[in-house]
Structure 1
């Protein structure tokens, strides 16, 4: 193999590694940062300006047994009414994780009154 073929192969390998590393570099975001998921955070302000992307993971940390985090549709987000039952195992654990899909993702606390009090989050992932 000539010198030119070897360097071309190395360039192709380097490009492939760069593409692969970009594909697996999803970010993880903790909702509310150190304050977590509760009634004391403005979630619109928290999410504003963050570069969310499809495949990123969003983590909700909350007081076990007091809150939960439920992925919902647009109408459930607007009405603060959950059609699907919240995962009781998640509620007991105090942590919920979701992978963001491309487009708009909606989350609320399914405990009655909590969403209406501000425990709702809308995230747009590119």
Structure 2
């Protein structure tokens, strides 16, 4: 009986953390209306774009670009710093590209088209586990996360009732 209660409690904790995690997921359009392109005479454009944004696991980055004129490559920090376009972690060649942030830590993105990264078409972000404390400017709620939250909340209610009945 004690093992059953411990198992139920563990499941309850997992469900509660899922609810908190998915509630705060957002979709960000990289560069807002400018999109993913060569920043005109502003190599700091994407660094400035990240200001006041708090990225968390579950968020989605939308890279809007014209297929055949740009791409998006996730790379390591060395490749990002030096605009090394070979051996990316993953490369998206069709726009728009949606990237789900599925882990914590740093993410680095560049355009691998000749010269684009060197003049500022690159993005580096840091992803946290916890939810942001306030809505982040430039983000929109992720509808699928809201649906997931509802399902998780209902599951949490049923698990709580079951736990109460078995204790």
Q: How does 1:2-81 map to 2 (within 5 A)?
A: 20-25=18-23, 26-40=25-39, 42-81=45-84
Question: What is residue 7 of structure 1 aligned with on the other side?
Answer: none
How far did residue 75 of structure 1 move? 0.7
Q: Which has the higher helix share?
A: 2
Equivalent pair of 2:21/2:58 in contact (CA under 8 Å): no
SS of 2:56's partner is coil
Aligned residue pair count: 110
In structure 2, the residue corresponding to 1:116 is in which secondary structure?
helix
Q: Give the TM-score normalised by structure 1.
A: 0.76
Distance in 2 of aligned mates of 1:17 and 1:114: 43
Aligned counterpart, 1:106: 108
Aligned partner of 1:82 among 77, 81, 85:
85
Q: CA deviation at 1:21?
A: 3.5
CA distance in 2 between partners of 1:33 and 1:80 (Å): 23
TM-score norm. by structure 2 comes to 0.58
Which string of whole-angstrom CA distances, capped at 9 and with x for unpartnered residues, describes residues 88-107 of structure 1? xx42x321121222011100
Greater than 3 Å deviation, 4+ residue runs = 16-21
- RMSD of aligned Cα (Å): 2.4
Q: Is the 8 A contact 2:70 2:112 kept in 1?
A: yes
Matches of 2:119 and 2:21, distance apart in 1:
37
1:124 has 2:126 as partner: yes
